[in-house]
Structure 1
Amino acid sequence: MRRKDIVCTEFAFTLPKGLVDTQNRVHRQGVMRLATALDEILLQKERKVQENSAYGILVILSRVITRLGSLTSVSPNLLEGLLVSDLAYLREFYNRVNQQGNTHIPTECPHCNTKFSVELELAGES
């Protein structure tokens, strides 16, 4: 019997500053799932994205963030309130998990050539 690799599709993150909601609560801990083809397709259909392509990151993040603090629903309008440092963090985190499928990078010891993987921490992760 051959063992199948288990693919992780959700990743926890911690924002550097946190999103402040309308009740003045700060949300820093969150979960992001991998993006799907449908996420990318629906992104192109969004009117705000057609009018301003820069808005696309807010739309795609609102689709893939499954939890942010006590929020279980995240809209592009809500994400408009992110500080630039948190938006940059989420953009990098999104790219990392969707391009590599994990938060680890392969590396090699320069002295003994042993290969291993290291989990990268972005600013704000704890």
Structure 2
Amino acid sequence: MIEDEFEFKLPKGFVDARGDLHDRGLMKLLTAKDELTVQKLASANPQMDIVFLLLAQAIAKLGNLNKVIPQQLEQLFLPDFFYLQDLFSELQPQNVNASGEL
């Protein structure tokens, strides 16, 4: 059986609007369907950086958030953002080129 979800712990953690800290999560391997979804979202939101769209699609859970949106990822502290980028690249290196695009 292929492992398709991987646990992680952010160095700092995401603090939501209520002040709750979310620092543990699951990142999943992206499927072809996920990548099509990201491409559609990128077309519909040309101002949104593709890296945020990819990460939001790959994060299956963050704390008690079952759905992470790109706008939440924009609020991460830099160590957390870099951690997630590194984890994503480690788990799914074939999905992105050096600039972070499909």
TM-score, normalising length: structure 2: 0.81
SS of the counterpart of 1:81? coil
Q: Secondary structure at the match of 2:92?
A: helix
Name stretches of at least 5 consecutive residues in structure 2 with no aligned partner.
95-102
Tell me the equivalent position of 2:53. Answer: 59
SS in 1 for 2:67: coil
2:5 aligned with 1:10, yes or no? yes
Give the Cα–Cα distance (whole angstroms) in 1 for the partners of residues 93 and 70 of structure 2.
22
CA distance in 1, matches of 2:39, 2:61: 23
**Greater CA radius of gyration, 1 or 2?**
1
Once the two structures are TM-superposed, the CA of residue 41 in structure 1 deviates from its matched residue by 2.0
- Taking only aligned residues, the RMSD between alpha carbons, in angstroms, comes to 1.6
Matched, 1:22 2:17: yes
Cα displacement (A) at 1:38: 2.0
Q: Tell me, what secondary structure is at the counterpart of 2:24?
A: strand
Deviations 1:16-69 (A, max 9, x none): 110010111111100011011122222222233x335xx111111111211111
Structure 1 runs (4+) deviating above 3 angstroms are none
Identity level (%): 36
Structure 1 segment 19-58 matched on structure 2, within 5 A = 19-46=14-41, 47-48=44-45, 50-52=46-48, 55-58=49-52
Tell me the distance in 2 between the aligned counterparts of 1:57 and 1:39.
14
Q: How many residues align?
A: 92
User: In structure 2, the residue corresponding to 1:51 is in which secondary structure?
Assistant: coil
Distance 2:56 2:13 in 1: 15
